[in-house]
Chains A and B, each alone.
Chain A
């Protein structure tokens, strides 16, 4: 799911058993800040819950939705990306003022604040797969590589949902 192994440093200490179980990884995490001091300020970006909606033949564009978590101490910026299924990957925002849908490209990208979570979802900021080379079929997974200003390229798999899906893990509707 995540693009890098997460250290469980943010989890509350639950029980003694858990504390013992976590002792080793915690020790490993404890060394991270020391390394960060010598390296340039690190952006720690994790991309998860990638999904898209099926498209019809002749439909030239598709949306991609996902969650970006910046567990680092510096802000980063989503600049764009690439996908084998599309000619171009853009970041878009949606404005619904006055009952009118206005979709606009975020040419300067999207800031991912330090310690922040940014969710790209229908009706708000989202990724546009422009110039689809083929229709996206329900049930398949489509690779997407996102480009971040500091964290570089991070890959995520998009699960293609039914066209009416409004979230990443929606069950297929039965009857």
Chain B
């Protein structure tokens, strides 16, 4: 647009036009760089998101007692949504957490593992006790009424949905990430299903050392 035309005049004019052109190019690059840096930084926005994850909830433990966010306060925890009839991703995730906890040695006892069933129609609190016991490490297994589960799933910006299957049954789609909550109940990090054990281990070490 600011391209100088060769016919604009000899020598000096052309040189001025070139200088202006270079100035505009550098200005554009500067603006772009500034925008990029600003987007990469974004510390305030991430903190805001983390602050919105978690919060008050009330669910039922296998022994019938009520467990709330306040029951868990003071100790970091790793929270996972699932259901007992999920034979694949749920056991894999919980077993990996159990293994990582063992690898952490003493530090492994410094965080709680919380399993929240999102299948209140099938999973009773009593059913969840023997299920979490299979993993050979203390796991707090919880469920509740549909309203209670909707509340905690919403509070964690998670997702679950009952999906009918052939033959009148159903399965449950659900968020498969593990939420790592610090001792104040605030989101510190998330473990993705696909990430390596080493990455997850580093996140858990950070969780207990915070």
Task: Tell me how far the C-beta of A20 lies from the nearest C-beta in chain B, rounded to whole angstroms.
Answer: 47
Within 8 A of B (CB), among A45-86: 53-63
Q: Measured between alpha carbons, how far is A62 from B147 in the docked complex, in Å?
A: 28
Residue in A59, A99, A126, A130 whose CB lies within 8 Å of B88: A126
**Most B CB within 10 A of own CB, among A101, A126, A162, A165:** A101
Q: Measured between alpha carbons, how far is A126 from B177 in the docked complex, in Å?
A: 21
- Residues of A within 8 Å of B122, CB to CB, are 60
Q: Measured between alpha carbons, how far is A164 from B134 in the docked complex, in Å?
A: 9
- Residues of B within 8 Å of A7, CB to CB, are none
Task: Tell me how far the C-beta of A165 lies from the nearest C-beta in chain B, rounded to whole angstroms.
Answer: 8
Given known pairs A60-B122, A88-B167, A99-B193, the reply for A164 and B85 (CB within 8 Å) is no
Contact with B along A8-43 (1 / 0, CB 8 A): 000000000000000000000000000000000000
Contact at A96–B88, with CB atoms within 8 Å? no
Residue in B87, B94, B96, B159 whose CB lies within 8 Å of A61: B87
Task: Tell me how far the C-beta of B101 lies from the nearest C-beta in chain A, rounded to whole angstroms.
Answer: 12
Task: Tell me how far the C-beta of A109 lies from the nearest C-beta in chain B, rounded to whole angstroms.
Answer: 13
Chain B interface size band reads 35 or more
Determine if A166 is an interface residue (Cβ-Cβ < 8 Å).
Answer: yes
Contact at A99–B135, with CB atoms within 8 Å? no
B97: nearest chain-A partner, CB-CB: A164
Within 8 A of B (CB), among A117-175: 122-123, 126, 128-130, 162-166, 173
- Residues of B within 8 Å of A1, CB to CB, are none
Given known pairs A88-B167, A163-B134, A163-B135, the reply for A128 and B87 (CB within 8 Å) is yes
Known: A59-B130, A103-B173. 19 other contacts (CB 8 A): A53-B87, A57-B130, A58-B124, A62-B87, A88-B167, A94-B88, A96-B89, A100-B173, A100-B174, A103-B86, A103-B89, A103-B171, A122-B89, A123-B89, A128-B87, A162-B134, A163-B91, A163-B94, A163-B134
Residues of chain A having any CB pair with chain B under 8 Å: 53-63, 88, 92, 94, 96, 99-105, 107, 122-123, 126, 128-130, 162-166, 173
The contact sample of 27 A-B pairs, CB cut-off 8 A, is A53-B91, A57-B130, A58-B127, A59-B131, A60-B84, A60-B122, A63-B88, A94-B88, A94-B89, A99-B175, A99-B193, A100-B159, A100-B176, A101-B90, A102-B163, A103-B86, A103-B88, A104-B171, A123-B88, A163-B95, A163-B134, A164-B91, A164-B98, A164-B99, A165-B95, A166-B95, A173-B99
